[in-house]
Amino acid sequence: MVLKTIGIGCFLPIAKIPTFVKIIMLMETKFSDRLKDIRLHYKIWMSDELETGIMGDGKWQMLKLIEEKGSMKAACDELGYTYRRTWGNLKKIEKFFGFPLLEKQRGGSDGGHTALTEEGKRLVRAFDTFHNTVDNHIQEGFERFIQELNR
């Protein structure tokens, strides 16, 4: 005979437990079992007063890859972005902040090179710091969320 605890010190054979109680017990089990499967996803971006995107995760990753690869085309290829759209987005950032992001060297035997300006590097570093701070706060909040659901 299978016994199940209901409340404090109360044991009943499974067959004698009312159906609605069985459903609640099943729901609680499935709910708590599913908590470990929850994954947090979010994006961060900044916009101007007209809600035009200025800087966010995608543009930040693009700038980091341009610096790493020395090529805007290679960075676009890796992220699956079009060159034209990326160029336009970077120009919008430059216009908003009032400084150039990229230094380009065309052609030559090496085929050219693209790098971030000092201001562009500073922008990426600032966004790195900001993102890490936000990531930590969001992760702490998410962990509290899961703990609250586990009560």
pLDDT at 33: 74
Global pTM value: 0.72
pLDDT at 35: 80
Task: Report how far residue 57's alpha carbon sits from residue 124's, in angstroms, rounded to the nearest whole number.
Answer: 11
Ranges of the chain whose pLDDT falls below 70: 1-31, 107-110
Interval 24-42: pLDDT, tens: 555 555 667 778 888 899 8
Question: 53 with 60: CB under 8 angstroms?
Answer: no
pLDDT at 31: 67
pLDDT at 139: 94
CATH code, residues 45-150: 1.10.10.10
Task: Report how far residue 151's alpha carbon sits from residue 30's, in angstroms, rounded to the nearest whole number.
Answer: 14
Where does CATH 1.10.10.10 sit in the chain? 45-150
